[in-house]
């Protein structure tokens, strides 16, 4: 394998940057191509068939073009629906992102866990299975919060986040919990840790937020351990599907993470 062969991180938008940030902690110099499918954003309101076809098709073309050593679907929605299919079409290791139910179940003291994801993610059998396997005996309350995806996209472009949007998430979860107290919140969408501060204000300091980014980064590092890896000679690449104008406003966020200017796929 070419020692400059990149790690490919893929998401519908900027959410996967939360995985990228964690990856840079463990593999600071690794060459990365980050692909944001802005032309397909949001995934959460699409059907399973639409998501699976889109993600498998795009990742196939991207892998052919860039010859990555590993691909990471840095998106819970795409992973819970299409991980198996993508593994079938790519010949490289594919790491997925699934809701961090296991660590949340190990952490909760009250036994009541909130899970916030996209509409498509929270209805997946994959999530039912994680719940059965790791959270038996706990209460796992799931809600969809599509507005948070747009809020995270806007925040990274320098826009304000409407506190009412965050309060609504808290209130809907609390309504489901009734008299019980949620002490652990699973951020089951890679966009949501970008709103950690706002969620922290709304839920208070006693509610712990859990996401999978650090675990995924460690998994990637483990899978490529021992491989010949040279840092990319220039900045990492941030690539978007659809018009390049979709990346307007992201300049500061990209520069802070060591990316060059956004490019079109
Ligand atoms: N970032 C994606 C996830 O982790 C989804 C956002 C979308 O709806 O496209 O689920």
The ranges assigned to domains in the chain are: 7-97+214-264, 101-211
Report the chain's mean pLDDT, rounded to a whole number.
96
pLDDT exceeds 90 at position 230: no
| Catalytic-labelled residue, pool 7, 70, 135, 189 | 189
Please say if the pLDDT value at position 1 is more than 80: no
Widest distance between CA atoms in the chain: 57
Q: Which two tokens stand for residue 168?
A: 């609504």
Assigned CATH for 7-97+214-264: 3.40.50.1860
Average pLDDT over residues 59-66: 98
The answer to whether 62 and 265 are in contact (CB under 8 A) is yes
Percentage, residues of the chain above pLDDT 70: 100
Residue 189 appears among annotated catalytic residues: yes
Indicate if the pLDDT at residue 232 is higher than 80.
no
Residue 163 scores a pLDDT above 90: yes
Q: Which of 34, 54, 74, 77 to mutate to test the pocket of ligand 1 (most atoms within 8 A of CB)?
A: 77
- For 35, list phi and psi in degrees, rounded to 5: -115, 120
CA distances from 217 to 132, 224, 241, 264 (A): 25, 11, 24, 26
Please give the torsion angle defined by the CA atoms of residues 97, 98, 103 and 104, in that order, rounded to the nearest 10 degrees. Answer: 130
Instruction: Tell me which residue has tokens 């209130």.
Output: 171
Helix (H) or strand (E) holding 34: strand 32-36
Report domain 101-211's class: alpha beta
Whether 233 has a pLDDT exceeding 80, the answer reads no
pTM assigned to the model: 0.97
Q: Which residue in the block uniquely carries the two structure tokens 């998430």? A: 169
Tokens of 67: 């010859």
Which atom of ligand 1 is found nearest the CA of 41? 9
What's the CA-to-centroid distance between 259 and ligand 1, angstroms? 21
Do the domains at 7-97+214-264 and 101-211 have one common CATH topology? Answer: yes
75 is a catalytic site residue: yes
Question: Measured from the CB, is residue 75 less than 6 Å from ligand 1?
Answer: yes
User: For the chain, how far is it from start to end, CA to CA, in angstroms?
Assistant: 23
Q: 3-state class of 194 per DSSP?
A: helix
Q: Which of 52, 63, 75, 188 is catalytic?
A: 75
- At how many degrees (to 10) do helices 76-89 and 125-134 cross? 100
How far CA 154 is from CA of 50, 192, 200, 214, in Å, comes to 25, 12, 18, 24
């Amino acid at each position: 394998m070419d020692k400059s062969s990149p790690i490919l991180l893929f998401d519908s938008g900027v959410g996967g940057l939360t995985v990228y940030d964690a990856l840079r902690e463990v593999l600071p110099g690794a060459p990365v191509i980050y692909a944001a499918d802005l032309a397909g954003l949001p995934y959460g309101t699409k059907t399973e068939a639409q998501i699976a076809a889109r993600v498998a098709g795009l990742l196939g073309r991207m892998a052919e073009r860039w010859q990555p050593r590993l691909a990471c679907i840095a998106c819970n929605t795409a992973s819970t629906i299409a991980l198996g299919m993508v593994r079938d079409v790519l010949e490289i290791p594919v790491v997925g992102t699934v809701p961090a139910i296991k660590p949340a179940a190990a952490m909760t003291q009250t036994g009541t866990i909130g899970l916030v994801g996209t509409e498509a993610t929270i209805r997946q059998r994959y999530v039912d299975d994680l719940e059965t396997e790791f959270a038996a005996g706990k209460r796992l309350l799931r809600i969809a919060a599509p507005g948070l995806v747009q809020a995270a996209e806007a925040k990274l472009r320098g826009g304000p986040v409407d506190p009412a949007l965050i309060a609504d998430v808290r209130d809907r979860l609390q309504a489901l919990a009734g008299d019980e107290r949620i002490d652990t919140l699973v951020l089951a969408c890679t966009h949501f840790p970008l709103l950690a501060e706002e969620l922290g204000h709304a839920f208070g300091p006693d509610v712990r937020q859990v996401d999978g980014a650090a675990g995924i980064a460690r998994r990637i590092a483990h899978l490529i351990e021992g491989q010949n890896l040279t840092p990319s000679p220039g900045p990492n690449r941030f690539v978007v599907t659809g018009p390049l104008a979709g990346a307007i406003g992201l300049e500061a966020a990209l520069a802070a993470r060591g990316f060059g200017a956004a490019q079109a796929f």
